Every structure is written in C-alpha cells, then in structure tokens.
Amino acid sequence: MALLFILGVLVFSYPFVVDSINNYYDQKAIEKLHKENQEEFKTKKTERLEEMKEINKKLAENKNTQNISGMGIVEDPFEAALTSKRTKKDQEYYKEHTIGAIFIPKIHVSLPLFDETNNTLLDVGATILQGSSYPIGGKDSHSVITGHSGLPDKKLFTDLEKLEKKDVIYIDVAGEKLAYEIETFKTVLPHELDDVKIQKGRDLITLVTCTPYMVNTHRLLVTAHRIPYVEEKMEKEKEQVQEYHKNRFRLFMLFFPILFSMIFYWMWRKFVYYQSGKYKYDFIFYIQRNNKPVVGETFVLTTGKKIVRKNKRKVTATSDINGEVRFSGIRGGKYTARHLKLKEVNAVRGYVYLLKDKQFVIRGKRKYFKVIKSKDGKKYILEMRKKK
C-alpha cells in the first residue's frame, strides 16, 4: 500500500517537478546569456543587429516571403518537429543559436529564444520561424515565434490559451528590449498560416503553438503589435517571472525531502506497530486528584471500542496507593485505557515507540494529562477530573 502511494505521488508530481527543474535551468541559461551578451555585444552588438536588420529588409521587399530554402513561411513549423527523431546537442550548439529571450508575465513564461525552428530547439525553448522577420522592431516586420504545447517535461507555450487581449509579451534580442501587446487570437489548420505574413507599416509578432492540448490538430496564432517599452515597469515584470520559476524550484526542492521524510516516518511507524505485536510491554500511568494519588480506581484496556480480553475476562488494572495503574505483559499495538465505570473520566492512549522499549508511550488530553521526566524514565499522570 505504501509503495503504491509513493508510486502515485511520483507519477502525479513528475510533470510539475521536471517542468520546475527545466524552467529553473532556463532562467540560469538566460541570466548567463545576458551576462555574456553584455560583454560580447560591446563589440558585436552592432554587427549582429545589422545582419538581422538586413534580413528583415529583404523579407519586407519580398512580398511573398515564402522563398526560404527548406521552410516556406506558410508551411507548418511543427510537422517535421513532431515526426523527426530528436538529436542531443552540446551546450555550444544551443549557445550558437540563442539570440535572446521571451517573457510572458501573465502565464509565467520565461524562455530562451533561438534563431531557427527545428525539433531539437523546439524541445528546449521558443524558436523563430525561418522566413519570418527577426523580432528586433521596425515597420514592415512580422516575426513568427513558435513553441511546443503539452510536452510532459516542459510547459513552454502550453498556457497560451490563457492569455487575453492587451496582455504584454517582452522580447530581448541582441541587446534590444521590446514590448508587444496582444491584439488577436486565431485557431487555424496547420497549413493555414497566411495570417503571419508581413503587414505594410506594422511591427508585429505572432506566437504559434499546437492546439487543442495533446490533440494538436490545429495551430493557435497569438498576434501582438509593438508598444513603447517602459524600462522600470517592464524590467520588474520580467524579473518577477524569472523569480517565480526560481522560487517554484526551491519550493519543490524543499517539499519533496519533507514529503519523503513523512512517508518514511509513516512506514517506520507501521513497521514498529506490526512488529511490536511479537513482544510484550507494560502499560503504566498514574492518576491524581488535586496533585494527590487516587487509590482504587479501575480502568479497562480497549482497542478502539472493543474491550481487550484474556481468557475471556476483561483486562483491567486498579490504581494502587501511589496512584499507579499498571497493565503488565501487554502485546505491542495501540490501546486505550478507559475508566471501568465512569465514562466522563478522560481516557489515555498508549503505543509502542521503539521495539526495544519496555513500556508503552502514554498520551492524553493536555488539559488533564502531563508527563514528568525523571532518572527512571517518563511518568505519565492523568488528572482525575470529569471531562467537560
């Protein structure tokens, strides 16, 4: 039963944990890239930016924008990625193709942005569709950014459907910081991608992902137009997204050790409970009234509501001159000692904590019960007052 429970916890939590871990390392990668870019772009920023601008200019001049070798803009970006074999690449490959990051605060998206779309890069982050503009701003540009939905180990663009009009998307590319406000949503068939063409005089981006969730028969297009980038406000929102993933990761790292410690403790207690039945222990407590021992009060031992019997006789014990109530030689387990006649007197419970112990650990309601430690061990005292 315990193993089934643990297995259930692992299966249920797997996608959340893996997504959290992946997102955490995404944030680390984005931070590392930003740091490297700060140094690298001092010398290469202008050169890289000019390359992108030149490509965007050629795309704007070509009204069809469908002549890119191997990937026309109206072709489905996911078809090959969903059917082709995954290939593992080294970190240098990802670094080479990383040009920035995309942030969507509303749905806690913070992903690396790659310069081309293929099955390897789609598994890791968001990608720019070949044949579309680079998201560096400027009129007569339309960047198509693709991302998977429904992967078992990463959410990526899974929550795009939760976005609404006027939600904001942030993009950092080649040192440029841009903001786009969502204006339209459209669900189309895989080959119906005419809406992602360049629109004269406009600066647009369109996010593309598979839909419905886990069915993937259609494509969701989320189009947004450029708005002014408010440095302080928008930088804060981006930082909050990154911190969200870091805190989520830390929470899982804290939660699972605690969870497994609790499961281990529960299993250990079950083990002790069943094994203790092979041994005998003394069930001892003391009763007092106004801090003085009470003599002659009889208690009966029960398991739940069932009275414990030995040779068909009730197992009872009567308090002596010291107020001690002793049940000797009781097999390990969980028991409750109740007053034989007075139901209004509070009961005490006992269980075996360690197999090597000689006595049961006794517990009762705090208001009527106390534990005194001494050299001889713990002394459990029940105050003889009627329960309210």
Are 41 and 162 within one domain? yes
Same structural domain for residues 242 and 319?
no
**306 and 364 share one domain:** yes
Beta-sheet strands, E only, within 212-256: 218-227
Closest of 130, 102, 107 to residue 118, by C-alpha: 130
Q: Is the residue at 363 inside a domain?
A: yes
DSSP alpha helix (H) spans, 62-140: 79-83, 91-97, 119-122
Angle among Cα 243, 244, 247 to the nearest 5 degrees reads 80
Are 330 and 193 contained in the same domain? no
Lowest mean pLDDT among 27-31, 343-347, 367-371: 27-31
Q: Is residue 94 part of a domain?
A: yes
Domain housing 189: 13-253
Give the domain-ending residue among 253, 270, 303.
253
The answer on 357 and 233 residing in a single domain is no
In 173-225, alpha helices (H): none
Give yes or no for residue 90 having a pLDDT over 50.
yes
The residue annotated as part of the active site, out of 97, 108, 142, 148, is 148
Both 353 and 312 in one domain: the answer is yes
**What gap in Å lies between CA 139 and CA 289, rounded to an integer?**
90
CATH number at residue 182: 2.40.260.10
Number of folded domains that form the chain: 2
- Burial of 353-377, coded b for 16+ CB within 10 Å and e otherwise, reads eeeebebbbbebeeebbeeeeeeee
Q: Do 204 and 296 have their domain in common?
A: no
The reported pTM is: 0.65
Please indicate whether residue 191 is annotated as part of the active site: no
Residue 95 Ramachandran class (φ > 0 left, ψ -120 to 50 alpha, else beta): alpha
User: Does 388 map to a domain?
Assistant: no
In CATH, what number is assigned to the domain containing residue 302? 2.60.40.10
pLDDT, tens digit, 9 for 90 and up, residues 189-201: 887 777 888 899 9
Question: pLDDT tens for residues 215-256?
Answer: 888 999 999 999 999 988 888 888 888 787 777 778 777 877
Q: Based on the domain organization, do 115 and 182 belong to the same domain?
A: yes
Query: Of 329 and 12, which is predicted with more confidence?
Result: 329
Q: pLDDT band at 297, cuts 50/70/90?
A: very high
Residue 146 forms part of a structural domain: yes
Catalytic residue among 142, 210, 245, 339: 210
- The question of whether 108 is a catalytic residue gets the answer no
